[in-house]
């Protein structure tokens, strides 16, 4: 099962949670179920033409340093 990142809409606490099926996560700080899923950053390595390794990461994109709790907060 995947680990998702969430932000609590009540107290703004950001946390990760292993989610099973249709389970609804709760904030570990205030126990609110009013949470939104955040966009996670991930890295990957790709082999280009000729076998060269091409590295890239979502953290290097324009949203990598964003401090907003959702993409709606920065307009991206």
Q: Is the pLDDT of residue 76 over 60?
A: no
Q: Is the pLDDT of residue 58 over 50?
A: no
Q: What is the pLDDT of residues 7-50, one digit of tens each?
A: 999 999 999 999 888 888 999 999 999 999 998 766 666 666 66
The pLDDT value given to residue 24: 87
For the domain with range 1-41, which CATH number is right: 1.25.40, 1.20.272, 3.30.450, 2.20.28?
A: 2.20.28
CA triplet 27, 16, 4: central angle to 5 degrees?
110
Query: CB within 8 A of 72, min separation 6: which ones?
Result: none
CA 76 – CA 74 distance, rounded (Å): 6
The DSSP secondary-structure symbol of 72 reads: G
- Residue ranges covered by each domain of the chain: 1-41
The pLDDT value given to residue 19: 85
Q: Which residue has tokens 């076998």?
A: 51
Percentages (nearest 5) of helix, strand, coil residues in the chain? 10, 30, 55
Q: Is the pLDDT of residue 75 over 60?
A: no
């Amino acid at each position: 099962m995947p680990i998702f990142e969430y932000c609590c809409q009540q107290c703004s606490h950001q946390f990760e949670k292993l989610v099973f099926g249709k389970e609804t996560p709760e904030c570990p700080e205030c126990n609110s179920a009013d949470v939104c899923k955040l966009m996670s950053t991930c890295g990957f390595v790709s082999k280009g033409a000729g076998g060269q390794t091409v590295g890239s990461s979502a953290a290097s994109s324009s949203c990598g340093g964003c401090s907003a709790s959702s993409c709606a907060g920065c307009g991206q």
